[in-house]
Structure formats: structure tokens, C-alpha cells
Structure 1
């Protein structure tokens, strides 16, 4: 994995601890609403709520260590989280001022001030990352029988403790340099006042496409460089009393986002809708209304931003500039509000009783102004530069988006996304943040972007050959979880059929047709009884997310090529192969269900990947007796995966078929 991909992994793991902030915001916000001046001294209920929220804010560094260790672990196991907690306590104890004084043999008052701040989010992130790597490396280690109790996951906290001992020594010398550098960076921005806040907001938006805005946010929102804007704002009157907050200043790195997220982006959505071609307005309206509401109510802006980020980057640059301007204006005028999650209506309402909030109504006035600015500037830019925003696409591009090949439920979407990213054989890791699937693949070129957009994805970002993001909206985490379950064998084979096998095909010096031409009669690749796809006990096939076709319950041991073409892919376990027909049809022959788990037992490969075949040539030999006893099912789907490139699939066979002799179905060219 390259550096960008690894930073992406850290960025998405940060969303685990950050997800606790809404709880803190709600608890403290209600508490300050009840007792806005006494921060709990005048009301036991207010004190109860404020203290509850502060328990989260005051321990963010620990939550970062635990959450990132869990979020970056390969199987999201609780042992990784526990190890993160152990590592954090070991490292921060060794780097506490008292410990440094004792280890280095210097008076306590001469210990660098940096160590008084060792309990911070930066160290939490460092511990979380190291712990996750240790977990991924050692959680499967088996020790000698005498030490068997400490094998596997139980070994990880022990290894983490030892590693933190080693990490502590260089950090004794490195941490003061890092800390002073961060403080200098933060102070240079702080010294710029409102202009610095505007610069920060500009880069905050620019980093959204690659997900690295979390790293920038940690400097200004949390206690890495001494700014700590969100926790100090949520601390309200207590922060004021303790000198951690300044009225009119604390919150300036947050306030200007409210006019953008609640008003500016909805204005952009209206402009995109009005610019859409008449025949596309209904489709664009549904997309823009949902995205604008999410931005206004919750402050989740990615569904809207990704709808134009890559199709019209000029608009996104304009959006970043306007965000910087808004934050600058709010900071200059000292119109202050803050958030625990994002700059939406929920957090704005919760801010109204916070003692640090100032002139919140002016942020709403500013918001109306930015609604107009966004609407007219976006409308002008779309028309003047002929930008291909949603609904402005050329007819051929826009047509595909109207199709809805699967239902909107999570299971169907998960199956479909597994198929369009190339199946389990192409997957290295699956994760998600609030609105996007973050995927690490063997080859992102396999991903069918058009299919993703037909499913409702608002954007597809190919960061490099291995890392890709698909913007799917608030269901992202649910879809990612279900995809992981499917790939773990809970509903679909780990070696799921690829949607575009040519990209993994290799090697024979033969030409593969690039254009789909001519009808094709497909012969049965094995003898047996025909089963319709609807009867296949696997949702990926029965939903036809993988493709159109039939299945066969085999009664003989030989699997043959159903058409003339090239064997583009044979899986290592020999349970399935992909064949590219001479007319461009991409065919999948999958013997049995979940047979990948057999590790190749019951299968003998007779041809190699890249081989040129004629219809009827033997490809695999089966041990049908073994497969019948050990496979989940021997029903074997035979499907056309690029069905959208053909007119139809007709003349389906029924009853008994003979391998290489009986016509299974006909593929009609457009």
C-alpha cells in the first residue's frame, strides 16, 4: 500500500473516535441550555449532563488510541482496541514529566513542557496506528504448547507493551521537537487571526476528495497545537473560567462553516437543479433534495460535494474559496457558534445556549447571503463553462443513471457493489466513513464506474491502482459491513465472480474481441439438470447482480468451454473460470456455491489461464462425489456478466442438458 493509501486508512479509522463527538455535543449542549451561566453550579441536572459530555471530550486522546487501533485492525476485533488502551497507558506513563525526570536524571522543573501535554490526540493517533499494525501482524501467531494460552489475540497486548517501551525512548527526544513544531504551526495560523481561519477552511475543503482533511482538522479542532477549538467551545463557561477559551475567538475555526453547510451548498444544489436538462430534472431533483437536506440538517456535505467535485472541479475550487471567505467573515465579525459533529442545524440549535456562542443570528443572515452567492455563481459557471454537473450530461452518459438494476436495500446493494468492484478475488480491504466506501483492491481498473452510478453512487474516486472510494451516502458503513460479511462467506463466495475478468486475464498471444458483435448460442458447460437463477441459493446470483443466465446441477465430472474464446481467468482454487467469447461476451462458470472454501479439493484443472478454446474443450474435471458431500451446494451458475452490452438473453434451456451439445441459452446482440 502506498503512502496516500495508508493515510486514507488512518483517516477512515479516525472516524471511529470522532463519531463519539455528537454524544458529547448533545449532552453538553442540553446542559448549557439548562444552565447557560453556571455550567452546572445552578442545576444538578445541567451538571450531570455537562460532566457526562466532558467525560468524552477530556479523554479524546484515549478514544483516538482505542478507536484507531480498532478501526485499522484487519478484522475489527475488540482485542485490538484493548491493546490500543494498554499501549496508550504504557507510553504516556513512560513519557510523563515524573517518569522523564527520573529516567533522564533531571529535576522535574527542567523537564520540557512538551511532556506535560503528552496525553494528547497526536500521541493517541500514533499509539492507535502502531497497535493496529502489531495486531494485524501478531494476532494469528501460535506459540509453543507451554505458552498456548498467550497465542493469537492474547499475545497482542503483551507485544504492544514491549513495543511501547521501545517507542518511548526515541520519543523522549523527538516529541519535544514535534510538539514545538506543531505549536509553531498553530501559532502562526493563530497569529493571522481571522485570515488564518479562512486559510484553514479553504484547505479543509480541498482535502475532502482524498479524505486527509481529518489530519488538518486535528491541528485546529483538537489539542495537538494548543488550539483545541471544538473541546474548548463545548466546554463553555468552564473553559472561560479556566482560561482555555476567549469569547469571540474560541469557535472561529468552526463558525463560518454553518453558512456554507446549511445555506451555501443547498444554494448550489438549487443551481445544479435549475441548470439540468428538462428530461433530467426529476432525477436531479431527488438527488439534490436529499443531499441538500443532509447538509442543512446534519452538516454532512459529501453526498452533495461529490456530485460535482470531479465532473466540475472548477466549481469545487470555487466552493473551497467561498468556504474560506465565510469562515474569515464570521471570525472577523466574531459571529461564533460551534459543533460537536458538523455545522448543521442540530449543532446550531445546541450552540444557542453555550456561553461562548455569540451573535448566532448573524450566522443565519450570513447564510442567506451565501445561499444567493452560491446559487448565482454556480448557475453562471455551469452555463458559461458548460460544466457537466448532474443533469447536464450528454444523453448517452445520462441515460445509464436512470436505470436501477437492484433494489435499494442494503443486502442487494452490497451484492451489487461486490460484483462491480470485481468480486472477492479483487478485494484487499473494505472500509467506510460517513458517506463513502473506502476500498483497497488488487486492481481498480476492474471497477465498473457506470454500474456504480446506476446504483446511485454520486461519485467514484480512483486514487491509484489499488485505492478507490465510492460515494454512496449515509448507508456507506452498512453497505461496507454487509460486503465484508458476504466476502467472509455469509452469503457469497470469497472468490466472487468478477464483473470484468479481462483486466486480470493474461497471457496467451490471442486477440480478444473488444466490440460486442453477433448473436451467440451458449452450449451447456456440464451435463445435468437446469436450474433457474432465481432458484440458486445465493443472493448474488439469484438477484442477477452478477449477471444473466442459468445454473446447472451437474451429473457428470467434466466441465467444458461453452463457446469459442479465451480462458481469461481461472481461480487458484479451480472452482470457477471466466471466459471471453469471440463476440465479446464475458462468461462466468462457477462450479458449486461457496466451493472456494474447499481450497481446490475436488477440482482438477485441465487448461491454463490464457488458453484458446473451442466450444466443447474440457476445462475442469470434478470429483463429483467429494463435491456433493462437502460443498454447500453443487448448483453451478453459468452467467453472462456484461449483459448490458447485449440486447437480451433468450431461448433458455429446461430439463436435462448434455455438456458441449445442448444449447443452454442464446445471447442476442444489439
Structure 2
């Protein structure tokens, strides 16, 4: 993975711990609303809520260690998060002032002050990254039989604890230098005051197209360079009492965003609507209204920003510049409000009674002014430069015609659609997501169809390089990414129906009624009832009806005659369309897609015509037994609802290509 791709990976992993902040904002915001003067001293309920939110804020460094480790792990497993926690405790304990004094044999008063600040978000991020890399490297390692209990995922926290001992010794030398450099950077920014806040805001917007604004935000919002703006603001009374916050200063890296998100961008949306061609105004209105509402109410701006970011980049630079001016003005005037999620109406209301909020209502007046500025500047620029904003495209650049087939809003349908957009699973290497965008690693970004992505509803497509692409899909990004993973693993996915082919001679099998389909065992082994498969989707028959087999033989064959509609790139599963239209999925093991094809050898190709008993896959049973979550292999009919059901289910041992497994009854 290239440097940009890796930085993006860290950036999106940061969103895992950051996602806890809205909970803290809501809890503490309601608490301050209940008791705006006593901050909990006059109300037990207010104190309860403020303390609950404070528990999140006070432990952000631990949340970063756990969240980054989880977010950067290759399969988002809890063992990676546990390793992050173990690593954080080992590192921070060994680098605590008392431990440094004992290990280095120096008086406690001579221990560098930097070790008193070892429990911070920077160390949490560092620990999370190291723990995730160790998880990705060692989570499938098998130890000798005597130590087999500690193999795989159980090995990772153990390895992490030893590695972090080494890291701790390195940090005893490096941490004072790193800490002093971070403090110097933070103090340099602080010394610039409102100008520094404005510069930060300008680059915050400019980095959004490549998704690295999260990394920049961590410097100003959290305790990476000593600024820690969001936790100190949300901490309210406690932050004031501890001297971590200053009224009129803490929150200045947040406040100026409210006028932009709540008013400026909706003003830009109105300008784009009024600049659209008359015949396209209705279409543009529906897009702009939804995007402007999201920006005003929640502070989610990407659907609106991506509507003009690439078609009119000059507008986006103007937007970044105006954002910097807004943050500068708010910081200069000390009009302060803060947020736990983004600078929308919800966060403004919740923060308005925070002890650190100051003349927050002036941000509304500032916002109304910026709404007018955005409207007139955007409209003038669009007209003067003839910018192709939504509704002003040339006719041959327009999206599909109105009579084009409607796009389903179903998440599973969208997942399959976006897989087609990127050139299919053969071009896909990794799937991830943040709040509003799919972050994908592909074989070649040239195969990504931007027009089709926009037809599916994407706000924009960003090709960062030949390997990394981002598709802006809105707040359902995580759901779509999860559905894409399910489609790839065969869960919930139905293969495309193959064209009817001439009937082949029926395979030798147990007697069945005319028209019924008898499936032979695709692999030698022991039959396992479907409800005992250790996967909820298969066990609940959500994927289809049938049985499973625990393999003891290495050859996997076609259970019936038909066409192989799909063999997954990882070779762990295939879908076969029988001559009568039955769609059959043979899925070897559970979660075996994560093995990346290891343990499987393909013997037939996608699209091939096969007879019952023809070889399709060859298994390395020793490797799979050591690395797969389970070898239990479902054999199901995914479109069973088109038939009368599954009967004559066999039990016990079966032989590949010979033993009848079950009968699919016709209606």
C-alpha cells in the first residue's frame, strides 16, 4: 500500500473512536441544559449526565488505542481491539514517571515532564497502529500442538505485550523529543491565535477531497499537539476547574464552522439552484434541498460539497477560503460554541449552555451574513465563469435520461451496484468506509465507472491514484460497505441467472418424482443440519435452504448439471445455476473469504458448463483446518421460494459425486 493509501487507512480508523464523541456531547449537553449555572451541583440528574459524558472525554486516549487498532485490522475483529488495549496499558505503564524513575535509576524529580503526559491521544493512535499491524500479521499463525490454544487471534495480545515492551524502551529515549516537538507545534499554532484557527479551517476543507482532513483534525481537536479543543470544550466546568480550558479561547477551532455548515453552504445550494437551466431546476431542487437540510441540521456537508467540488473546483477553493475567514472572525470576536459530531443545529443547541459557550447566538447572525455572501459570490462566479454546476451541464454530460431504469434504494441492491461500478470483485482488494464515503482499494481505478456511480446516487467519485478510490454515498456508507462484504462472501447474494441451456442427462441419484432435482454431495464428509452452521445467515436460511457438510475429502464437485454462474476470487465458494433454474450456492467453510484464496485450488472456470460430479475445487484440508473459523460447508438453494421445498435430506457420511444429498421439489 502506498503512503497516501496508508495515511487514509489511519484517517478512517480515527473515525472509530471519534464516533463516541456524539454520545459525550448529548449527555453533557443535556446535563448543562438542566443545570446551566451549577453545572451539576444543583441537580443530581445533571451531575449524573455530565459525569457520564465526562467518562468518555477523560478516556479518549484509551478509546483511540482500541478504536484505531480495531479500525485498521484487516477483518475488524475484537481481538485487534483487545490487543490495542493491552498494548496501551503496557506502554503507558512502562513509560509512567514512576516506572521511568525505577528503570533508569534516577530521582523522581529528574524524570522529564514529558512522561507525565504519556496518557494522550497521540500515544493511543501509535499504540493502535502497531497493534493493528501485529494483528494483521499474526492472527492466523498456528503454534505447535502443545501451545495450540494460544494460536491465531489469541496470540495477538501476547505478541503485542512483548512488542510494546520494546516500544516502551524506545519511547524512553524518543518520547521527550516527540512530545516537545508536538508541544512546540501546538504552541506555534496557539500563538497565531485567530489567524492560526483560520489557517487550520482553510486546510480542513481543502483536505476533504482526499480524506486526510481527519488526520489534520486530530492535531487541533485532540491532545496530539497540546490543543485538545473538543474534549476541553465538552469537559465544560471540569476543564475550567482544572485549568485546561479558557473562556473565549477553548472552542475557537470549532465555532466558526457553524456559520458555514448551517448557513453558508445552504446559501451556496440556493445559488446553484437559481443558476440551473430552467428545464433542470426541479431535479436540482430535490438534490440541493436534501443536501442543504443535512448540512444545516447535522453538519454533514459532503453531499453538498461534492456536488460542485470537481465540476467547479474554483468554487471549492472559494468555499475553503470563506470557511477560514469564518473561523477567523468567530475566534477574533470570541463567539464560541462547540460540537461532538459536526457544526449543525443539533450540536449548537446542545452546546449553548456549556460553561465555555460564549455569545454563541452571534454565530447565527454571522451565519446569515455568510449565507448572503455564499449566495452572491457563488452565483456571480457560476455565471461569470460559466461553471458546470448541477443543472448547467451540457446535454451530452447529463446523467441517464428520465426513462432510465430506476435505481433501487435497497442497501443490498446498492452494494451489488457499487461492486459493478468498480469493475466487479475481480478489481476489488479492500473495502472500508467512514461517515459518508466508501473507501476502496482496487486493482485499477481506471475500471471505476463514475457515471454509473452517480446514477446509483453517489455525490462524487475521487480517484486518489491507481489503487485508491472513494465514492461519496452519504450517511449509509457503513451499511453499504457491510452489504458489499456480504455479497463478496456469498451471504445474501444471489447469482445472476444464466441463460437457459439444453437439458443434460439427469445425474444418477435416488428416485425422485418427475421434474424434481436431486443434488449429489459436492464434497465427501459428514452431513450437518443447516441450523447448526456457525453462521446466522446460513443457519436462519436467509441465504437459502439445504444442508451443510463437514469435509473430509479434498475434491469439491458440481452437485448437479448446469452452468457455473460465479466462482469467487478467493475460490472459497461458487454458485451454480442448474438446468431447471435452481440457484445453488456451495460455500466451503465459514468466513473463509478472509483467507484470500489460500487453501483452495480452482479446477473449473466461471461460465463453464458442468455435469454432476465434475470437479470444481480442490481443498488443502490441513491448511483450512488450521486457519478457517469453521470447515462446515453449506450447500443451499438460494431461490428455494420458487420451488416446493427441500426433502429427502440425507444424514451421516456422504461421498462426493455419488451420495444423493437432498431433493428439490417442484411446485
Change (3 A) 1:570 1:223: closer
Does the Cα contact within 8 Å between 2:587 and 2:635 map onto a contact in 1?
no
Q: Match of 1:329? A: 329
Change (3 A) 1:559 1:5: closer
SS at match of 1:157: helix
Q: How far did residue 572 of structure 1 move?
A: 8.7
Q: Match of 1:451? A: 452
SS at match of 2:398: helix
SS at match of 2:482: helix
The answer on 1:408 being equivalent to 2:396 is no
Does the Cα contact within 8 Å between 2:425 and 2:488 map onto a contact in 1?
yes
Instruction: Give me the CA root mean square deviation.
Output: 3.2
Change (3 A) 1:557 1:208: closer
Q: Match of 2:83? A: 83
Does the Cα contact within 8 Å between 1:338 and 1:347 map onto a contact in 2?
yes
Q: How far did residue 622 of structure 1 move?
A: 3.0
Q: Match of 1:202? A: 202
Does the Cα contact within 8 Å between 1:138 and 1:156 map onto a contact in 2?
yes
The answer on 1:188 being equivalent to 2:176 is no
Q: Match of 1:307? A: 307
Q: Match of 1:145? A: 145
When structure 1 is superposed on structure 2, of 14-23 and 225-234 the one drifting more is 225-234
For 1:211 and 1:558, the matched residues in 2 are separated by 43
So what's the TM-score if we normalise by structure 1? 0.78
For 1:558 and 1:361, the matched residues in 2 are separated by 67
Q: How far did residue 527 of structure 1 move?
A: 5.5
For 1:347 and 1:354, the matched residues in 2 are separated by 11
Cα deviation code 1:192-215 (max 9, x no counterpart): 111111011111111111111111
Q: Match of 1:361? A: 361
Q: Match of 1:418? A: 419
SS at match of 2:457: coil
Cα deviation code 1:225-266 (max 9, x no counterpart): 221111111121222222111111111111100000000000
For 2:7 and 2:426, the matched residues in 1 are separated by 24
Q: How far did residue 592 of structure 1 move?
A: 6.8
Q: Match of 1:230? A: 230
For 1:390 and 1:92, the matched residues in 2 are separated by 52
Q: Match of 1:160? A: 160
The answer on 1:482 being equivalent to 2:470 is no
For 1:342 and 1:254, the matched residues in 2 are separated by 9
Q: Match of 1:119? A: 119
SS at match of 1:307: coil
SS at match of 2:36: coil
Change (3 A) 1:247 1:634: closer
Q: Match of 2:529? A: none
Change (3 A) 1:286 1:109: same
Q: Match of 1:136? A: 136
Q: Match of 2:220? A: 220
For 1:480 and 1:86, the matched residues in 2 are separated by 29
For 2:256 and 2:74, the matched residues in 1 are separated by 38
The one of 625, 634, 648 equivalent to 2:613 is 625
The answer on 1:254 being equivalent to 2:254 is yes
SS at match of 2:431: strand
For 2:319 and 2:474, the matched residues in 1 are separated by 20
Change (3 A) 1:626 1:320: same
Cα deviation code 1:422-480 (max 9, x no counterpart): 22222211111111001111222211111111001010001111110000011111111
What is the 5 A alignment of 1:58-73?
A: 58-73=58-73
Q: Match of 1:650? A: none
Q: Match of 2:370? A: 370
Change (3 A) 1:377 1:163: same
Q: How far did residue 47 of structure 1 move?
A: 0.9
For 2:71 and 2:226, the matched residues in 1 are separated by 26
Cα deviation code 1:107-138 (max 9, x no counterpart): 11111111111101111111111111111111
Q: Match of 1:390? A: 390
Does the Cα contact within 8 Å between 2:573 and 2:585 map onto a contact in 1?
no
For 2:449 and 2:293, the matched residues in 1 are separated by 29
Does the Cα contact within 8 Å between 2:221 and 2:227 map onto a contact in 1?
yes
SS at match of 1:480: helix
For 1:195 and 1:404, the matched residues in 2 are separated by 51
Q: How far did residue 571 of structure 1 move?
A: 6.8
For 1:365 and 1:422, the matched residues in 2 are separated by 48
For 1:76 and 1:149, the matched residues in 2 are separated by 22
What is the 5 A alignment of 1:16-35?
A: 16-35=16-35
For 1:319 and 1:626, the matched residues in 2 are separated by 62
SS at match of 2:252: coil
SS at match of 2:249: coil
For 2:436 and 2:205, the matched residues in 1 are separated by 15
Q: How far did residue 554 of structure 1 move?
A: 11
SS at match of 2:441: strand
Q: Match of 1:616? A: none
Q: How far did residue 539 of structure 1 move?
A: 12
For 2:570 and 2:329, the matched residues in 1 are separated by 60
Does the Cα contact within 8 Å between 2:604 and 2:615 map onto a contact in 1?
no
Q: How far did residue 491 of structure 1 move?
A: 2.5
For 2:224 and 2:638, the matched residues in 1 are separated by 58
For 1:424 and 1:6, the matched residues in 2 are separated by 22
For 1:106 and 1:274, the matched residues in 2 are separated by 71
Which runs of no fewer than 5 residues in structure 1 stay unpaired?
498-521, 532-536, 541-552, 561-568, 578-589, 610-618, 637-670
Q: How far did residue 377 of structure 1 move?
A: 0.6
SS at match of 2:613: helix
When structure 1 is superposed on structure 2, of 226-235 and 149-158 the one drifting more is 226-235
Q: Match of 2:241? A: 241
Does the Cα contact within 8 Å between 1:24 and 1:340 map onto a contact in 2?
yes
Cα deviation code 1:244-292 (max 9, x no counterpart): 1111111111110000000000011111111111222222111111111
Which runs of no fewer than 5 residues in structure 2 stay unpaired?
506-514, 516-537, 544-557, 576-580, 590-596, 618-632, 640-667
